[in-house]
């Protein structure tokens, strides 16, 4: 009914008894389906007011993938890195084409803070903020949301705490700086190459170190 457009964004579901009759299902089956759709962000259950179709924003629907991507073992995450290389390169190229002077100033300030950071947990958080920043600047909320889902699981595999952490941090900082310089110069091709190479390098470290997953971190906004 939603996919066909019969029920549009923001519309209220028919009453439960009518839906059960039309669909030929029991109340328990219907309620389970509604719970699943609510978990996926497709519907909103308002206490005392009924069930409504959500606004069906693509970025919001994609963000619900965090529920399942967040369960992937390292092997599954590494498969996702192939997608992330492509998408993050595209995001960087779009950010280079669309960036504002204000964005460049904010990005530079964040990079300076990241490069000076020595705490592994803070480094991971600042790293996430940098990637989220240029993904958002690409101008496609759904792309930014999907990359946020991928990063949400990546952050559970901490590599900065290994003995080689300082060297990893140095190379990572160089990768971030290359991305930022290309974006600042409005060089879309260089930005795409730098972002793809940076993600590929992280994949190499993950394959080599095989870190165990840490406790879940907060879902990215």
| Total tally of structural domains belonging to the chain | 2
pLDDT of residue 200: 97
Could you give the C-alpha distances from 218 to 135, 157, 187, 205, 211, in angstroms and in order?
18, 14, 33, 23, 19
Q: What is the pLDDT of residues 102-120, one digit of tens each?
A: 999 999 999 999 999 999 9
Neighbours of 221 (CB within 10 A): 7
- For residue 143, the domain's CATH number is 1.20.120.530
Do residues 167 and 70 share a domain?
yes
pLDDT beyond 80 at 39? yes
pLDDT tier, 216 (very low <50, low <70, confident <90, very high otherwise): low
Do residues 173 and 90 share a domain?
yes
pLDDT of residue 155: 87
pLDDT of residue 219: 45
Do residues 98 and 132 share a domain?
yes
Residue 9 belongs to some domain of the structure: no
How far is 33 from 20, CA to CA, in rounded Å? 11
68-72, 186-190, 212-216: which has the highest mean pLDDT?
A: 186-190
Structural domain range at position 52: 16-56
Do residues 48 and 134 share a domain?
no
Name the helix (H) or strand (E) containing 166.
Answer: helix 165-184
This prediction's pTM: 0.82
Q: What is the pLDDT of residues 79-104, one digit of tens each?
A: 999 999 999 999 999 999 999 999 99
pLDDT of residue 195: 98
Q: Are 91 and 136 in contact (CB under 8 A)?
A: no
pLDDT beyond 90 at 141? yes
Residue 127 belongs to some domain of the structure: yes
pLDDT of residue 215: 66
**Nearest to 184, CA basis, from 141, 139, 134, 144:** 134
124, burial (CB in 10 Å: exposed 0-12, middle 13-18, buried 19+): buried
DSSP, collapsed to helix, strand or coil, labels residue 199 as: helix
Residue 191 belongs to some domain of the structure: yes
Do residues 30 and 84 share a domain?
no
Do residues 26 and 121 share a domain?
no
Do residues 126 and 205 share a domain?
yes
- For residue 25, the domain's CATH number is 1.10.10.10
Residue 2 belongs to some domain of the structure: no
Q: What is the pLDDT of residues 61-71, one digit of tens each?
A: 899 888 889 88
């Amino acid at each position: 009914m939603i996919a066909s457009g019969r029920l549009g964004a923001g519309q209220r579901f028919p009453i439960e008894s009518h839906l059960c009759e039309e669909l030929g299902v029991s109340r328990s089956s219907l309620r389970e389906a509604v719970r699943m759709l609510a978990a996926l962000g497709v519907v909103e259950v308002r206490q005392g007011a009924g069930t409504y179709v959500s606004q069906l924003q693509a970025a919001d629907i994609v963000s619900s993938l965090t529920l399942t991507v967040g369960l992937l073992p390292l092997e599954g995450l590494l498969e996702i890195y192939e997608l992330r290389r492509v998408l993050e390169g595209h995001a960087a190229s779009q950010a280079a084409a669309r960036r504002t002077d204000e964005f460049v100033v904010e990005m530079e300030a964040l990079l300076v803070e990241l490069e000076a950071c020595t705490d592994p947990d803070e480094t991971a958080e600042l790293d996430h903020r940098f990637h989220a920043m240029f993904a958002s600047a690409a101008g496609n909320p759904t792309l930014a949301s999907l990359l946020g889902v991928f990063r949400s699981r990546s952050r559970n595999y901490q590599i900065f705490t290994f003995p080689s952490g300082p060297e990893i941090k140095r190379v990572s900082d160089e990768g971030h700086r290359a991305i930022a310089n290309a974006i600042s110069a409005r060089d879309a091709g260089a930005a795409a190459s730098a972002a793809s190479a940076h993600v590929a390098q992280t994949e190499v470290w993950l394959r080599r170190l095989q870190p165990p997953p840490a406790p879940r971190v907060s879902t990215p906004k």
